[in-house]
Amino acid sequence: MLAHKDLHFSGRSGWLRAAVLGANDGLLSTASIIVGVAAASAATGPVLVAGLAGLVAGALSMAAGEYVSVSSQADSENADLKREAIELAGNADGEFEELVGILRTRGMSDATARQAATEMTEHDALATHAREEIGLSDTLNARPLQAAAASAAAFLVGGLPPLIVAAIVPFASVAVAVSLVALAMLFGLGATGARLGGAPVGRAALRVAFWGVIAMTATYAIGALFGTRL
């Protein structure tokens, strides 16, 4: 008999959030910088320098922010695990009864809950209480370095296309070309994220693209207003 496998979108929430946010930020930040500087400049050089600087700074900022955030989460998880270990060592019977109570609230009879609690405790008491009481599991544990690397990589992947476009098209077409490419990618990014997450595709794509248009329009207007085009 083949094993039955269900597709659960919630299991993707951690990496999906980091990937979508990172790529979206990389694309939109870099494209907006390029469009704004292009509106304020008279040559391709400053545009590429600004875009590259924004790409690198943004990737490092994303990595640092994600690392700090997930590290704080990891610290909280470790503190909860230590506290749970102390409680198990000092009051094993009380913790067992607490586990039985949790299992009963999930629909088990008292006898079944006690049997399940006994077997789960014998297998791994700390992991069982961490999962059932605190909601922690190996698949959901905070991993700061992994999160930081994923965010930085996603930012770079999202930010490179507008920089490449700016480098290969004539300067007079940079703002328009980068805007169109960024808009198309934002649609695709929003649709892909929605599909992977099980959300409505059209609404998500339009939402991402809408805010992209707002950001690029604002930076272009600032560049045109305060720039020194010759």
Residue of higher predicted confidence among 19 and 98: 98
Instruction: Judge contact between 63 and 156, C-beta under 8 A.
Output: no
Instruction: Judge contact between 101 and 122, C-beta under 8 A.
Output: no
What's residue 147's pLDDT? 80
Q: What is the pTM of this model?
A: 0.71
DSSP state of 199: S
Helix (H) or strand (E) holding 59: helix 44-90
Alpha carbon distance 14, 140 (integer Å): 8
Gyration radius of the chain's alpha carbons? 25
Alpha carbon distance 189, 208 (integer Å): 8
Helix (H) or strand (E) holding 24: helix 13-40
Is the pLDDT reported for residue 166 higher than 70?
A: yes
11 confidence band (pLDDT: 50, 70, 90): very low
Task: State how far Cα 174 lies from the chain centre.
Answer: 30
What's residue 141's pLDDT? 60
Residues with Cβ < 8 Å from 214, sequence gap 6 or more? Answer: none
116 confidence band (pLDDT: 50, 70, 90): confident
Mean pLDDT score across all residues of the chain = 81
214 confidence band (pLDDT: 50, 70, 90): very high
Alpha carbon distance 150, 53 (integer Å): 20
**Angle at alpha carbon of residue 49, lines to 43 and 50, rounded to 5°:** 95
As a whole number, mean pLDDT of residues 70-77 equals: 78
66 confidence band (pLDDT: 50, 70, 90): confident
35 confidence band (pLDDT: 50, 70, 90): very high
What's residue 18's pLDDT? 63
Domain ranges of the chain: 15-224
Residue 124: CB atoms within 10 A of its CB come to: 11
Is the pLDDT reported for residue 178 higher than 90?
A: yes
What's residue 3's pLDDT? 47
140 confidence band (pLDDT: 50, 70, 90): low
Is the pLDDT reported for residue 14 higher than 70?
A: no
